């Protein structure tokens, strides 16, 4: 089918470029503590050494490496070969061996059905248009074991004063990182596929997930903790 979405195309920042990958950790450290975020997420998820976790959009590998220290197996999935190389080198330096680095995205990643305990995605889901978000969520549901957990954190827009929230966010980014972060934020809203929270709510529920918790910071940064809904999938199986 020639109309299938090419998820290997770079949307927004081009992380196929080595120079962008080299500055990723440094620039993101200006407005977020990725190590702290990673440890807080692992504590929230309560993963164990029996669990298998897939991290979509694994980027420079900070979370995947921390997760591998407590998980049985981690799949670090990213569309950028340069990001995967950076993350792989970090894992070697950290003596972490139970990570499989996969050059793929949400739509192309393949694994045995019902073989995954946790799926995470942080600031990556917005690379997909809404139609393909739904396709990706259904595939993730397919991978998860019954009662498996999905966590998504992303730029997701609350349907209340969105223009004011976006402009405020861009101004805050400029204060934190000057023109570089200002232009990065502007490019995000101009070119990438962040959508309204009520759209994500519906896509999750229609894809077989029950939203356990949801929070939105500053009307823009949303976190979703979801569980695979067995009742939804039983109903779907009967209808099929």
Q: What is the pLDDT of residues 71-121, one digit of tens each?
A: 999 999 999 999 999 999 999 999 999 999 999 999 999 999 999 999 999
pLDDT in tens, 190-215: 999 999 999 999 999 999 999 999 99
Task: Kindly report the number of other CB atoms within 10 A of residue 178's CB atom.
Answer: 11
Tell me the C-alpha distance between 215 and 46, whole Å.
19
Per cent of the chain over pLDDT 70 is 95
Q: Which residue has the tokens 């405020």?
A: 168
Phi then psi dihedrals of residue 198, to 5 deg = -70, -25
Average pLDDT, the chain: 93
Query: H/E/C letters for each residue in the chain?
Result: CCCCCCCCCCCCCCCCCHHHHHCHHHHHCCCCCHHHHHHHHHHHHCCCCCCEEEEECCCCCHHHHHHHCCCCEEEEEECCHHHHHHHHHHHHHCCCCCEEEEECCCCCCCCCCCCEEEEEEECCHHHCCHHHHHHHHHHHHHHEEEEEEEEEEEECECCCCHHHHHHHHHHHHHHHHHHHHHHHHHHHHHHCCCCEHHHHHHHHHHCCEEEEEEEEECCCEEEEEEEECHHHHHHHHHHC
The reported pTM is 0.92
The reported pLDDT for the residue numbered 45 is: 96
- 2 versus 57: which is more confidently predicted? 57
Over range 143-169, report the average pLDDT: 97
Domain boundaries of the chain, sorted by first residue: 18-157+195-239
CATH fold for domain 18-157+195-239: Rossmann fold (3.40.50)
CA distance 192 to 154: 12
Q: How confident is the model at residue 231 (pLDDT cuts 50, 70, 90)?
A: low
């Amino acid at each position: 089918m020639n109309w299938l979405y090419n998820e290997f195309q770079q949307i927004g920042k081009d992380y196929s470029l080595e120079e962008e990958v080299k500055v990723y950790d440094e620039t993101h450290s200006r407005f977020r503590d990725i190590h702290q975020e990673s440890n807080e997420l692992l504590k929230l998820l309560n993963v164990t050494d029996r669990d298998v976790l897939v991290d979509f959009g694994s980027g420079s590998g900070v979370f995947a490496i921390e997760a591998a220290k407590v998980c049985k197996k981690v799949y670090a999935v990213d569309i950028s070969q340069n990001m995967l190389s950076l993350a792989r080198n970090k894992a070697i330096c950290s003596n972490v061996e139970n990570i499989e680095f996969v050059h793929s995205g949400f739509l192309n990643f393949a694994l045995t059905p019902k073989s995954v305990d946790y799926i995470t995605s942080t600031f990556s889901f917005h690379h997909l248009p809404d139609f393909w978000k739904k396709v990706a969520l259904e595939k993730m549901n397919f991978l998860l074991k019954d009662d498996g957990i999905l966590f998504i954190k992303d730029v997701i827009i609350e349907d209340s004063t969105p223009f004011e929230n976006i402009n405020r966010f861009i101004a805050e980014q400029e204060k934190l990182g000057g023109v570089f972060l200002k232009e990065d934020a502007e490019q995000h809203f101009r070119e990438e596929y962040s959508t309204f929270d009520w759209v994500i709510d519906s896509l999750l529920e229609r894809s077989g997930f029950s939203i356990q918790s949801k929070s939105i910071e500053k009307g823009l940064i949303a976190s979703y903790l979801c569980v695979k809904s067995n009742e939804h999938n039983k109903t779907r199986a009967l209808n099929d």
